Chains A and B, each alone.
Chain A
Amino acid sequence: AQSVTQPDIHITVSEGASLELRCNYSYGATPYLFWYVQSPGQGLQLLLKYFSGDTLVQGIKGFEAEFKRSQSSFNLRKPSVHWSDAAEYFCAVGLGNTGGFKTIFGAGTRLFVKA
């Protein structure tokens, strides 16, 4: 069965430090991969997505993610974290069929940023 694993329930980093959030997926075909962010009181917002081509994708707010097929991973990175990045981050896989698709989410990683 398709699944998405985010091994870190929460992570704390200092403001200005680099960040990497881990994501592993289980899917038999070429995956369509996403990272979403949820800030308090808000809906989920798409940060970036990978469909094909360059395995390093750039997103909004200075985030990037790298697809590594050999490791079934799609880790999210940011070189310098800002206090406003404190939120919950969800990795997801898009599963398609002729009628549409569904998105499978991981359990999320909550990011805390300390001054």
Chain B
Amino acid sequence: EAGVTQFPSHSVIEKGQTVTLRCDPISGHDNLYWYRRVMGKEIKFLLHFVKESKQDESGMPNNRFLAERTGGTYSTLKVQPAELEDSGVYFCASSPRQGGTNEKLFFGSGTQLSVL
């Protein structure tokens, strides 16, 4: 069974440019999450999809970040325009069931974003 895949693994862009990160969850997983880790700090929640709907986007930093999940399958996270403080590792995770606090998350290996 394929795991959660993220693309690209690394991205280096200049301030003001646009970057789009992609996440392919495990097939059949309804829940998809985006997280971000900045400079060795804690991994922070960004948002949660249930299928194609945004369940919780309380962690999105500002309106420069736009997340979509087409048809409830893969998800993209676009940063436009990118700022220096957006640098970090962006993780995607998925889980199979809807609801509940005891779900195991399956993580991708992350996208390292560097904004220069």
Which A positions have Cβ atoms within 8 angstroms of B? 4, 9, 32, 36, 41-46, 49, 51, 90, 94-96, 98-108
Contact = CB atoms under 8 A, between A and B. Distances in A.
A43 B104 contact: no
Contact of B107 (A43, A49, A106): A43
Contacts of B33: 102-103
Contact of A96 (B42, B101, B106, B108): B101
A99 B116 CA distance: 38
B110 A43 contact: yes
A80 B112 CA distance: 33
A49 B102 CA distance: 8
Contacts of A100: 31, 48, 50, 55-56, 98-100
B91 interface: yes
A54 B70 CA distance: 42
Grouping DSSP codes into helix (H, G, I), strand (E, B) and loop, the A interface class, with mixed when no group exceeds half, is strand
Given A44-B91, A106-B42, A101 B100 contact: yes
B105 interface: yes
A101 B109 contact: no
A4 B43 CA distance: 11
B67 interface: no
Contacts of B40: 9, 107-108
B43 A90 contact: yes
